[in-house]
Chain A
Amino acid sequence: MKAQRKENLVQAIILAGFAFLLFNLLNTGKIVLFINPRLAWLIGLASVLLGIIAIAELIPRHDHGHECCDHDHACACDHGAHLLITGNKLLAVLFLTPLVLGFLMQPKVLGSAALTNSINAAGPVPFYAGPFTGLNKNGADLLAGIMNLARGLGRPAPPASGNSPAASVPGANTAGANTQTTAAGTDAEGAPEASQNTSLVQDAGDAGPAVGPVEDTDLVQLDIDLYENQAQLSGRRFRMTGFVYKDPGLGKNQFVITRFVIVCCLLDTVPIGIIAESPDASDLKADTWVEAEGVMKMLNTFSAADKIEPLSNFHGPNTDIPYFVITSLKKVPVPKDPYLYPPQ
Chain B
Amino acid sequence: MNHIAQQRTAPAVKPGHLLILCCLFGLILLTTQNLQANIWDQAATVATLALGIILQALPFILIGVLAASLIRFAISEELIARLHPAAGMRAVLAGALLGLIFPVCDCGVLPVARGLLRKGVSMHTVLAYLLTAPVINPVVIMATALAFQWRWNLVIVRLAGTFAVGATIAYLAGYLFDSRDFTGHGAHERHHLEETADAGATLHQIFLHAGNEFFEVGRYLFISAFLAAGIQIWAPKGALLTVAGVPLLAPVATMILAIAMSLCSEADAFVARSLANQFPLGSIMAFMVIGQIMDMRNIMLFTRNFRLSLFLFIAILSLGLTYLLSLSIDLGWWTQLARFSLHFLVHPIG
Per the bound structure, the CA–CA distance linking A46 and B338 in Å amounts to 41
Specify which chain A residues have a CB less than 8 angstroms from the CB of B234 in the assembled complex. Answer: 117
Interface status of B114 (Cβ within 8 A of chain A): yes
**A209, B180: Cα distance in complex, Å:** 72
Give Cα A135 to B278, complex, Å.
10
Query: Using Cβ atoms and an 8 Å threshold, which residues of chain B touch A25?
Result: 55
A125-174 interface (Cβ within 8 A of B):
125, 127, 130, 133-139, 141-143, 145-147, 149-150, 152-153, 157-158, 160-162
How far is the CB of B339 from the nearest CB of chain A, in Å? 10
Cα distance, A98 to B273, chains bound together (Å): 29
Q: State whether B153 touches A117 (Cβ < 8 A).
A: no
- In the assembled complex, which residues on chain B have CB atoms less than 8 Å from the CB atom of A73? 1-2, 4-5
Alpha-carbon separation in the docked complex, A77 to B215 (Å): 12
Q: Select from chain B the residue with minimum beta-carbon distance to A130.
A: B277
Cα–Cα, bound, A59→B204 (Å): 8
Decide: B233 and A114 in contact? CB cutoff 8 A. Answer: yes
Contact B153 A150 (CB under 8 A): yes
User: Could you say which residues of chain A place their CB within 8 Å of the CB of B50?
Assistant: 98, 101
**Most chain-A Cβ atoms within 10 A of its Cβ — which of B56, B195, B209?**
B56
Q: Could you tell me if B56 and A149 are in contact, using CB atoms closer than 8 angstroms?
A: no
A272 to nearest B CB, angstroms? 10
Quick check: A122 and B329 within 8 Å, CB to CB? no
In the complex, what distance in Å separates the CA atom of A56 from the CA atom of B214?
13
CA–CA, A52 and B65, complex, Å: 13
B168 on the A face (CB < 8 A): no
How distant is the Cα of A73 from the Cα of B1 in the complex, in angstroms? 6
CB distance from A82 to the nearest CB of B (A): 9
A63 to B199, CA, bound (A): 9
**Would A149 and B185 count as touching, CB distance under 8 A?**
no
Q: How far is the CA of A267 from the CA of B57 in the complex (A)?
A: 11
Q: How many A-B residue pairs have CB under 8 A?
A: 288
Inter-subunit contact A142/B149 (CB<8 Å): no
| A265 pairs with B52, CB closer than 8 A | yes
Check if A124 sits within 8 Å of B241, measured CB to CB.
yes
Say yes or no: A267-B52 contact (C-beta < 8 A), given A95-B215, A125-B277: yes
For chain B, what secondary structure do more than half of its interface residues adopt (helix, strand, loop), or is it mixed?
A: helix
- Picked from A50, A111, A157, A264, the residue with its CB within 8 Å of the CB of B153 is A157
For residue A74, CB closer than 8 A to chain B, the reply is: yes
Min distance, Cβ B342 to any Cβ of chain A, angstroms: 11
Residues of B contacting A105 in the complex (Cβ-Cβ under 8 angstroms): 44, 47-48, 51
Pick the contact of B277: A55, A72, A139, A145 (CB < 8 A): A139
Q: Which of B208, B275, B330 lies in contact with A56, CB distance below 8 A? A: B208
For A53, A91, A146, A161, which residue has the most chain B Cβ atoms within 10 angstroms?
Answer: A53
A157 to B156, CA, bound (A): 12
B205 to chain A minimum Cβ distance, whole angstroms, is 9
Q: Contact between B237 and A123 (Cβ–Cβ < 8 Å)?
A: yes
In the complex, the answer to whether A124 meets B195 with C-beta atoms within 8 Å is no
Q: Are B149 and A194 in contact (CB under 8 A)?
A: yes
A265 in contact with B48 given A53-B214, A138-B277 (CB within 8 Å): no
Q: Is A204 on the interface with B (CB-CB < 8 A)? A: no
Most buried by B among A78, A108, A137: A78
Q: Does A335 contact B (CB under 8 A)?
A: no
Report the interface size for chain A: residues with CB under 8 A from the other chain. Answer: 98
Given A142-B276, A142-B284, A122 contacting B236 (CB threshold 8 A): yes
Interchain CB contact under 8 A, A138 and B214: no
B248 interface residue (CB < 8 Å to A): no
Residue of B nearest to A73 (CB): B1
Cα-based distance from A72 to B304 in the complex (angstroms): 22
A110 in contact (CB, < 8 A): yes
Residues of B close to A194: CB separation below 8 A: 149
Task: Encode B314-334 as 1/0 by CB contact (under 8 A) with A.
Answer: 000000000000000110001
Q: Report A's interface with B, CB cutoff 8 A.
A: 8, 11, 14-15, 18, 22, 25, 31, 33-35, 39, 42-43, 45-46, 49-50, 52-57, 59, 61, 63, 66-68, 72-80, 84-85, 91, 94-95, 97-98, 101-102, 105, 107-108, 110-111, 113-114, 117-120, 122-125, 127, 130, 133-139, 141-143, 145-147, 149-150, 152-153, 157-158, 160-162, 183-184, 194, 263-268, 270, 287
B interface residues (Cβ-Cβ under 8 A, vs A): 1-2, 4-5, 8-9, 38, 41-42, 44-45, 47-56, 58-59, 62-63, 66, 114, 118, 143, 147-154, 157, 183, 185, 188-189, 192-193, 195-196, 198-199, 203-204, 207-216, 218-219, 222-223, 225-226, 228-229, 232-238, 241-242, 244-245, 257, 261, 263-264, 266-268, 270-271, 273-282, 284, 304, 329-330, 334-335, 338
**18 sample A-B contacts, Cβ–Cβ < 8 Å, listed by A number:** A11-B211, A15-B211, A57-B207, A66-B198, A66-B199, A68-B192, A108-B41, A114-B45, A134-B276, A135-B149, A138-B276, A142-B281, A142-B284, A150-B153, A152-B335, A161-B149, A265-B267, A266-B53
Give 4 closest A-B pairs by Cβ, nearest first.
A266-B52, A123-B241, A73-B1, A56-B207
Known A67-B199, A152-B335; 7 more pairs at CB < 8 Å: A35-B52, A49-B62, A98-B225, A122-B238, A123-B237, A125-B277, A266-B56
